[in-house]
Amino acid sequence: MKTAHKIGLARMIYHAVHAGRTLLGRTDRQVVVRDGISYDLDLSQGIDFAIYLGGIFERSTAVALSKLTEPSSLVLDIGANIGAHTLRLAKLVGPNGRVIAFEPTEFAFRKLRRNLDLNPTLASRVEALHCFLTANDATPVPNAIYSSWPLAAEAGLHAKHLGREMQTESAEARSLDNVLAQGADRKVQLVKLDVDGFECDVLQGATSLLRDTRPIFVMELAPYVLEERGASLDQLLSYFIPNGYSFYDERTQKRLPSSANELQGMVSSGESVNVIARVG
């Protein structure tokens, strides 16, 4: 299903929920507990609303991460947004594990920090970095990046995925290899990568990680957003295939083609496919 269709369905449900809450004198703001994790939510936001509806945000990705995350490991959440996966990963790695969460927009990073504050035990396992991962530390940071999916009608949203760009004024540019060289106390075991078209920017700065450590990646492939950023599916694959990676469907575990043309043919415009990339 296209992202726009998912958001359209969520909007219909949200309007019904919003109307009912209004009758009860409640606002869209609520702190909830899902799977033992507390979240401060704004129900007018798509990610927040999915968490509110029983933690259904990217359910198949959450299942994949739960199967792939090893206790006491180091895991990266690149494109952490409000921490929906970050906090789950912190539970999965356990008290001796670590999660490094990366989020470049002020909007989402502020909400990420709030959700970490609500879960102090899990927060002690998380290092949250307000930065934009790219080729090197001197690269200019984009002025705004998509990190909001509003459920109320608004102008100026992305034509296909209905997201809104949010400011990145205080984020610094970092290369992933440099971050890990300075702050990693063990090898990275798993990476969740979801950066809405900036995947190649991230991977340009992860040469050592891909060549030497070769962790498992759980990621979204959306050719149309790659193209919007001046990248391509072929470029993205060029970081993985020479380093021995293969791609697998996140849900079925079926091995996927390793050529950009074949993969492109599996994904319609405006759609994405969730994959696992691992060596072998």
Element (H, E) at 111: helix 106-117
Q: What is the pLDDT, as a whole number, of residue 261?
A: 92
Select from 264, 260, 180, 249 the least CA-distant residue to 215: 180
Q: What is the pLDDT, as a whole number, of residue 173?
A: 97
Judged against a pLDDT cut of 90, whether residue 142 lies above it is answered with yes
Select from 73, 71, 70 the least CA-distant residue to 185: 73
Residue listed under structure tokens 């020479």:
242
Tens digits of residue pLDDT in 203-228: 999 999 999 999 999 999 999 999 99
| Band (96; pLDDT cuts 50, 70, 90) | very high
Domains of the chain, residue spans? 57-279
Tens digits of residue pLDDT in 143-165: 999 999 999 878 889 988 889 99
Q: What is the mean pLDDT of residues 195-201?
A: 95
**How far is residue 160's CA from residue 225's CA, in Å, rounded to a whole number?**
9
Query: What CATH number was assigned to the domain covering residues 57-279?
Result: 3.40.50.150
Query: What integer best gives the mean pLDDT of the chain?
Result: 94
Q: What is the pLDDT, as a whole number, of residue 152?
A: 86
Highest mean pLDDT among 1-10, 33-42, 260-269: 33-42
pTM of the prediction? 0.95
What is the percentage of the chain residues whose pLDDT exceeds 90? 86
Tens digits of residue pLDDT in 176-193: 999 999 989 999 999 999
Q: What is the pLDDT, as a whole number, of residue 177?
A: 98
| Band (271; pLDDT cuts 50, 70, 90) | confident
Tens digits of residue pLDDT in 127-139: 999 999 999 998 9
Q: What is the pLDDT, as a whole number, of residue 153?
A: 77
Q: What is the pLDDT, as a whole number, of residue 2?
A: 65
The DSSP string of 148-174 is E-BSS--SS--TTT--EEEE-TT-EEE
93: left (phi over 0), alpha (psi -120 to 50) or beta: alpha
Q: What is the pLDDT, as a whole number, of residue 233?
A: 95
Length of the chain: 280
Tens digits of residue pLDDT in 50-77: 999 987 778 899 999 999 999 999 999 9
Judged against a pLDDT cut of 60, whether residue 1 lies above it is answered with no
